[in-house]
Structure 1
Amino acid sequence: MKFSPIIPFEPILTNQLPVGDTWIAQIKWDGVRMLSYYDGVNTELINRRGNRRTPQYPELTDIKAYCKADSVILDGEIIALSNGKPSFQEVMRRDSLRKEAAIRVAKNEIQVIYMVFDILYCNGAWTLNQPLSSRQALLKEILIPHPHVQMVPSYTNPEELWASAQSHELEGIMCKDISSTYTPGGKDKRWQKRKIISDVTAVAGGVTFRDGRVNAFLLGLYDEEGKLQYIGHAGSGKLKMEDWRQLTNQALKLAVPTMPFTNLPQRYTGAFWISPQLVFKVHFLEWNPSGTLRHPVIQASVDIPPQECRLKGQKN
C-alpha cells in the first residue's frame, strides 16, 4: 500500500491551561513536524507541508529498527539539541540539506532525535478514530528503544509541566484531551498549545548592509488583502557567518526598485529592497501597539512559500 501524505492535526494557541482529568500535557519541541510512513517495504519521511524529507534523515529510514509494526504512520517532531536544549536553527541545518555528501557529514555533526507523539495507522488499520489514550498505549507497545527515536512523555498536571518548561526556558507545552480522535488537516481546542517563547514565520522585503554584507532583514506578513505589512527589523540571532554570506548573495539577486511593504518601515534609511522570497522563523517578546515585533531574533531560514506568512492568526 502506498500512502498519500497526510496534513497533520494542529493545536490552537491558548493563554490559559485547560483544567480537568481528561487532559495530558507534553513538552512542545522546537523542531520540524514530521510524519513517517512505512508500507511494509519502503519508509518515507514527509513534513507538515507534504514535502519529502527522507534523504535528510538517513538514521530514521530503517523504521524496523525502532518500530515493531509491519506497516505504520507515526507523527512526531524531529529535533536537534544545542547546549542541552532543542534548537530550531540546528535542526534546520539538517533539514535544508540536499546534497548526499553534505548529509553524510551533517549526520555525524548534528545529531537528531525523532520525538514521536502519535500513531495514525498500524498493521493495516487506521487508528484515527481511536481516542488518544488508546493510540498512546499502542505507540508505547510498538516502539523499540533507539538512539534517535523517543516517545514523547505525557504528564497529568499541565501546571507543573508549564512551570518546568519555564524554568528550563523551553518553547512551551502542548495540552491534549485524552479522548480526542485525530483529524487530518484539523485544528481545534482538543489540542492546545501555550507558548513561553513567541515566534512568527515572516518574509523579508528588505535588508540593510554593513561592510558589504547583509546584517539585518526588514520583515513582513501578508494581510487579508494580500498586502505585505512591515512588522520589524531583525539582525541578531543564531545565523553563522557563512549563513550571512549566502544570504547576502541571495539578497543581491532579489533586488527590486521599489519598497514591497505597504507601510513605511521604522528603519528604512539605507534599506535595500528585495522581492519577498526569503522566509525566516523569528522569536520575539511581544507585539508592540504599533503592530511591530518587540526584540525580534532570527532563528533560521525556512523553506515555505512566502504567501503563507500571514498576519491572520499570528497575534492570537
Structure 2
Amino acid sequence: MKFTPIIPFEPMITDRPPAGEQWTAQIKWDGVRMLSYYDGSSTELINRRKNNRTRQYPEIAAAASYCKADSVILDGEVIALSEGKPSFHEVMRRDSLKNDSAIASTVRQIPVLYMVFDILYCNGLWTMDRPFSERRSLLEEMLLPHPHVQAVPSYSDSAGLLAAARAKGLEGIVCKDVNGVYTPGGKDKRWLKCKIISDLNAVAGGVTFRDGTVNALLLGLYGDDGRLHYIGHAGTGKMKVKDWQELTVLSHSLAVNYMPFASIPQRVKGAFWIRPELVFKIHFLEWTESGTLRHPSIQARLDLSPSECLLPNR
C-alpha cells in the first residue's frame, strides 16, 4: 500500500509556555520537517510541502532499520549539527542536493539526525485520533536504536526547558497538550511554540554589491494589498563565499529596471533591483517600530514560493 502524503500539524506561537499537568514540552529543532512513510516494503521521506526527499537522506531512508512496526508514518525533524547545535544552513546543504554523487559525498561531510516526535500510523492503523501521550508511548515502543534516529524527549517543566534552551542558544520549545489529537494540515493551540530566536521567510527584491559580488539582500514580505513591503536588509549570517558567488550570478539573471517594493527602502544607495523570486530564511531579534527587522541574519536560501512570504499580523 502506497501512502498519500499528508500536511503535518503545526504549532501556534505563544509568548510564554503554558502551565499545568496537561502540557509536556519538547525542544524545537532548527531543521527540516520530515514525515517517514513505510508501507512494509519501502520508505519515502516527504517534507511538509509534500516534496520527496528520500534520495537526499539515504541514512534514514530505510525505516525498518529504526522502527519495528510492519508499517508506519513517523513525524519529525531532520537536523544537522554545527559546533554542537542544530544548523539550518547545514541541513539545507543536504536538502538542496539533486546529484547522487554529491549526495554520497555530503553524507560523510554533513551527517544528519532524524528527531522523531510523533507516530501517525502503525501496523495498519491510524493513530492520529489517540491522545498525544498515547502516541508518545507507542513511538517509544516502536523505535529501534539507530545512529541517525532519536525520539525527541518530553519534559514536564516547560519553563525550565525554555530556560535551558535559551542558555544553549537553541531556537525554542514546543509545548503539547498530552490529551490532544493530531489533525493533518491543522494549526491550533494543542501545540504551542515559544521561540527564543525569531525567524521568518522573506523575499529578496534587491541586492547590493561589494567588489562585484553580492554582499547584502534587500528583503520584503507581501501584505494584504498584494504588494511587496520592505522589511530590512541583511548581509550577515550563514552564507559562505560560494553562496554569495552563486547569488551574484542569479541576481544578474533576475535583474529588472524597476523597484519591486511598495515604497522606497531605507537603504537604496547602490541597490540593484531583482525580480522577487528568491526566498530566504531569516533570523532576527525583533521588529522595530518602523516595521523593519532588527539585526536580521541570513540562514539559508529556500525552495519556496514568494507568495508564502506574508507580513504577520502584529
The CA distance in 1 between the partners of 2:30 and 2:21, in whole Å, is 27
Shift in Å, 1:312: 3.1
Deviation at residue 226 of structure 1 after TM alignment: 1.2
CA distance in 1, matches of 2:170, 2:7: 26
Asked if 2 retains the 8 angstrom alpha-carbon contact of 1:25 and 1:176, the reply is yes
Structure 2 letter corresponding to 1:107: V
Rounded Cα–Cα distance in structure 2 between residues aligned with 1:252 and 1:239 = 18
Q: Deviations 1:21-70 (Å, cap 9, x if unpaired)?
A: 01000000000000010111121111011111111000011111100011
Residue matched to 1:247: 247
Which structure 2 residue ranges, 5 or more long, are not aligned?
none
**Are residues 1:101 and 2:78 paired?**
no
Following superposition, the deviation at residue 12 of structure 1 comes to: 0.3
Q: How far apart, in 2, do the equivalents of 1:92 and 1:263 lie?
A: 32
Per the TM alignment, residue 270 of structure 1 is displaced from its structure 2 partner at its CA by 1.1
The aligned counterpart of 1:180 is 180
Q: Which residue of 1 aligns with 2:215?
A: 215
**2:74 maps to which residue?**
74
Letter in 1 for 2:88: F
Task: Report whether the alignment pairs 1:291 with 2:291.
Answer: yes
Counterpart-to-counterpart distance in 1, 2:237 and 2:161:
27
Displacement after TM superposition at 1:17 (Å): 1.1
1:16 pairs with 2:20: no
In the alignment, what sits opposite 1:227? 227
Q: Would the aligned equivalents of 1:56 and 1:103 in 2 still touch at CA under 8 Å? A: yes
Which residue number in structure 1 is paired with residue 166 of structure 2?
166
**1:269-297 CA distance string (max 9 Å, x none):** 11000001111000000000000000100
Give, as a single letter, the amino acid of the residue that structure 1 aligns with 2:251.
Answer: A
Letter in 2 for 1:106: T
CA distance in 2, matches of 1:249, 1:276: 15
Deviations 1:160-202 (A, max 9, x none): 1011001101000000000000000000001000000000100
Alpha-carbon distance, 1:234 to partner: 0.3
Alignment correspondent of 1:236 = 236
| Pairwise CA distance, 1:16 | 1.6
The alignment-based identity, stated in percent, is: 66
What's 1:147 paired with? 147
Aligned counterpart, 1:41: 41
- Aligned partners of 1:226 and 1:290: how far apart in 2? 20
* Cα deviation code 1:238-297 (max 9, x no counterpart): 111011111110111000110000021110111000001111000000000000000100
- RMSD across aligned positions (CA): 0.7
Partner of 1:61: 61
Count of aligned pairs between the two proteins: 314
Deviation track 1:109-149 (CA, whole Å, cap 9, x = no partner) reads 00100000000000110001000000001000000010000
Question: Could you tell me whether the CA contact under 8 Å between 1:224 and 1:312 is conserved in 2?
Answer: no
2:259 equivalent in structure 1? 259
- Structure-2 separation of matches of 1:245 and 1:100: 23
Give the TM-score normalised by structure 1: 0.98
Q: Equivalent residues in 2 for 1:128-143 (5 A)?
A: 128-143=128-143
SS of 1:103's partner is helix
Give runs of ≥4 in structure 1 deviating > 4 Å. none
Partner Cα distance (1:277, 1:122) in 2: 40
